[in-house]
Amino acid sequence: MSGEPFTVAARVIEQLPNSLYRLELQTEQRAQITAHVGPEASLLRVRPGDGVMVELSAYDPGRGRIVGKSS
């Protein structure tokens, strides 16, 4: 198992305190994770219902970093 992060599509379900968001991954399992907006996407405005690209770590797949909006 590699420690490299991988990027998946997700949908924002709700905004949480401390700049966190609850996301639903667009995979077969439809898992829910928490994520924050990464520094490369700091000017991104994220709202519930938006489609985003999230980078997940292989070490903690329950948390991620939003890296951009999906089209």
Query: HSE on the CB side for 13, CA within 13 Å?
Result: 12
pLDDT score for 11: 96
Q: Is the pLDDT of residue 57 over 90?
A: no
Over residues 18-55, the pLDDT tens digits come to 889 999 999 878 899 999 998 877 788 899 999 999 99
Determine the Cα–Cα distance for residues 13 and 47; give it in Å rounded to an integer: 8
Nearest to 7 by CA among 47, 51, 56: 56
Query: pTM for the complete prediction?
Result: 0.84
Quick one: CATH architecture of 6-69?
Answer: Beta Barrel (2.40)
Nearest to 6 by CA among 71, 70, 69, 60: 60
Q: What is the domain partition of the chain in residue ranges?
A: 6-69
